[in-house]
Structure 1
Amino acid sequence: MKLAGVGDNVVDRYRDLGTMFPGGQALNVAVYAHRFGIEAAYLGALGDDLAGRHVLGAIRAEGIDASRLRVVPGHNAFAEVVLVDGNREFGISEPGVSKFCLGPEDLEYLARFDIVHSSESSYLEDQLGLLAGVAPLSFDFSVRRDPAYIEPLLPHVEIAEFSLSDLDDADAEAWLERIHRLGPRLILATRGPADALLFDGQRTWRQPSVPAELIDTLGAGDAFIARFLVGIVRGEPFEQSLADAAIQAAATCGTYGAFGHGTAAFPPMSPVRDTTVVSTTPAQRS
């Protein structure tokens, strides 16, 4: 039973705390999945700077397979985070060296996994067909709903996730039905404190949120998604996976950062834009 997160990683830099934490949707889901009891791997690109080395240390500490990870010259991706009453808000961000190309050895490796998960912030849209060709693909669209973006991708996606916190029940359910017609087998919607929804084309499941100590909401949605995907891999009833996903999401709200490993932040990095890793071979890691 294995899951691979493929795509984005960042350091989330909390200005008010003077602390940075490793994060990124694909990496968060891999870490959470491993914490929830299955084997997990992360495939992405890290910078060779202090931030990238910190993320690599956290990946190793969490026991995540990083055998296909790239470490390349340049700045790691980052996002600045501000907390407003416990709700995370993002400031400036830069992709750094996070863009990369999948190669034949990557795809051969990923074919060993039960689920591959990626996201709209991973810059892999033109490679989703490759991922879907080797393993069932889970993809987090987050708040992206523009047809020009989502419709070409949905035929490749088996499990689609959306953040629909701005929609009421009727509009959210209508959205799930629309998305199902475009390809995915399952559509999961997280909605902040409102009920999460799951749709399989015939039935809608509802999962109420669990009361939480609101310290930092960053990572809560990723924890929910990861626990649900772990349930898929294990063959759990949806009711069981959704109920535990809500518990894990609430627990994540009670700590700073997506999955811990905070360290002192350092002065702002120079912007690094449009950097692509063209090599398909993992770099040497020190």
Structure 2
Amino acid sequence: MKIITVGDNVADCYLDQGLYYPGGNCVNVAINSIRNGCERSAYIGIFGNDKKGDHIKWALDQEGVEFNYSRTMIGISGQPMVDITGEGDRVFVGGPKNTVQHTVALKLTLEDLEYISLFDVVHTSCYSNLEYELPKIKKYCDIAFDFSDYRHEEYLDMVCPHIKYGFMSGADLTSEEINQLIDSCHRLGTEVIGITLGSKGAIFSHNGQIFKQEIIPTNVVDTMGAGDSFIAGFLTSYIDHKDMIMALNYAAKRAANSCTISGAFGYPKPL
């Protein structure tokens, strides 16, 4: 399987540790995919020309993820601040709003699209500001999209007709709301839709056929990026084997494994 991700990269700044870690939904999926054994993994995004941007590039290079079609802009990298609650949960507590990811948008060229066409799937997300490019990308490659909790009707109408795989967070939803959401996504054209339910696992639908996956218990160190690891595990397995049960079980194992390390995939550096 060959995957390319297009969109966000950040440095997750852990205030309690005085460390930052490379991350961002698309970077996390790219690196976890290569760790899952995919043949080729690549990333296109916008880097800041600062030390955090350099460290994210370095981590991608260490893992063998291509990023030569990315852009580097004058400015600072995305750097969300992360703290820990009294219950041990990690929460985002703000960060600068004048980062390169906030001030410029990625416009894909014909050269970019021809490069994307060399891959089996392109993954992007609601954090990547690429919704307007989806109709163009669809002509060159199947699209996987992480909605997070962006589930309102207008957003589904804009995204679902152009993607093959959709992933959402839905721990707050009732069973009826989950069923309605799945039906809406299929009606709009999305073939596979998956909703993660926190401690209740995940529910996926392939054109209306429902599959459920329980979480796999593990020794949790840090949950950062676990959802992205789940996505990477699912895509890596499903695209190769076309077996939903196998893919969901593998995804759950990879998500559990990612919870045993700090940061989305490691590589800490002092703030």
Q: For this structure pair, what is the TM-score category when the shorter chain's length is used for normalisation?
A: over 0.9
Taking structure 1 as the reference length, the TM-score comes to: 0.89
**Structure-2 separation of matches of 1:95 and 1:144:** 23
1:173 to 1:88, Cα distance in 2 relative to 1, 3 A: farther
The root-mean-square deviation of aligned C-alpha atoms, in Å, is 1.3
Q: Match of 2:62?
A: 61
Asked whether the equivalents of residues 78 and 95 of structure 1 are also in contact (C-alpha less than 8 Å), the reply is no
The Cα of 1:57 is off from its aligned counterpart by 0.6
Q: What is the 5 A alignment of 1:18-33?
A: 18-33=18-33
Q: Residue in 1 aligned with 2:155?
A: 149
What is the CA distance between 1:254 and its match in structure 2?
A: 1.7
Q: Which residue of 2 aligns with 1:283?
A: none
- Contact residue 159 and residue 185 of structure 1 kept, 8 A: yes
For 1:88 and 1:113, the matched residues in 2 are separated by 34
Which one has the bigger helix percentage? 2
What CA distance in whole angstroms lies between the structure 2 residues aligned with 1:213 and 1:263?
Answer: 23
**Structure 1: 5+ residue stretches without partners:** 266-286
Give CA-to-partner distance per residue, 1:60-106, whole Å, 9 cap, x none: 01110112111221111111112233432112133611232111110
Amino acid at match of 2:210: T
- Structure 1 residue 116 corresponds to structure 2 residue 130: no
Q: Which has the higher contact order (CA 8 A, sep 6+)?
A: 1
Match of 2:94 among 88, 92, 95: 92
Contact 1:6-1:118 within 8 A present in 2 as well: yes
Distance across 2 between alignment mates of 1:242 and 1:37: 16
Match of 1:42 in 2: 43
Inter-partner Cα distance in structure 1 for 2:98 and 2:151: 21
Q: Quote the residue 1:163 is aligned against.
A: 169
Q: Secondary structure at the match of 1:64?
A: coil
Conservation of the 8 A alpha-carbon contact between 1:219 and 1:257: yes
8 Å CA contact 1:227, 1:244 repeated in 2: yes
* Residue of structure 1 in register with 2:224 after alignment: 218
Q: Equivalents in 2 of 1:95, 1:248: separation in Å?
A: 34
Q: 1:86 to 1:248 in 2, by over 3 A?
A: farther
Partner deviation per Cα, 1:3-54 (whole Å, 9 max, x = no partner):
0010001000011111100100011101100100011000101011011011
Figure out how many residues of one structure are paired with residues of the other and give that number. Answer: 265
Q: Is the 1:86–1:214 contact (alpha carbons within 8 Å) kept by the matching residues of 2? A: no
Cα distance in 1, alignment partners of residues 195 and 98 from structure 2: 26
Letter in 1 for 2:48: G
Structure-to-structure mapping, 1:119-268, within 5 angstroms? 119-265=125-271
How far apart are the structure 2 equivalents of 1:138 and 1:220?
17
Measure, in 2, the Cα distance between the counterparts of 1:48 and 1:20.
16
Q: State the AA in 1 paired with 2:77.
A: N
Taking the aligned partners of 1:201 and 1:48, their CA distance within structure 2 comes to 44
Contact 1:86 1:217 in 2 (8 A): no
Taking the aligned partners of 2:198 and 2:169, their CA distance within structure 1 comes to 8
Distance (whole Å) between structure 1 residues aligned to residue 88 and residue 144 of structure 2: 28
Deviates more, 1:160-169 or 1:84-93: 84-93
Q: 3-state DSSP class of the match of 1:193? A: helix
The unaligned stretches of length 5 or more in structure 2 are: none
**What residue identity is the alignment partner of 1:47?**
G
Percent identity between matched residues is: 35
2:80 aligned residue: 79
The separation in 2 between residues aligned to 1:122 and 1:162, in whole angstroms, is 15
Structure 2 distance, partners of 1:95, 1:59, is 24
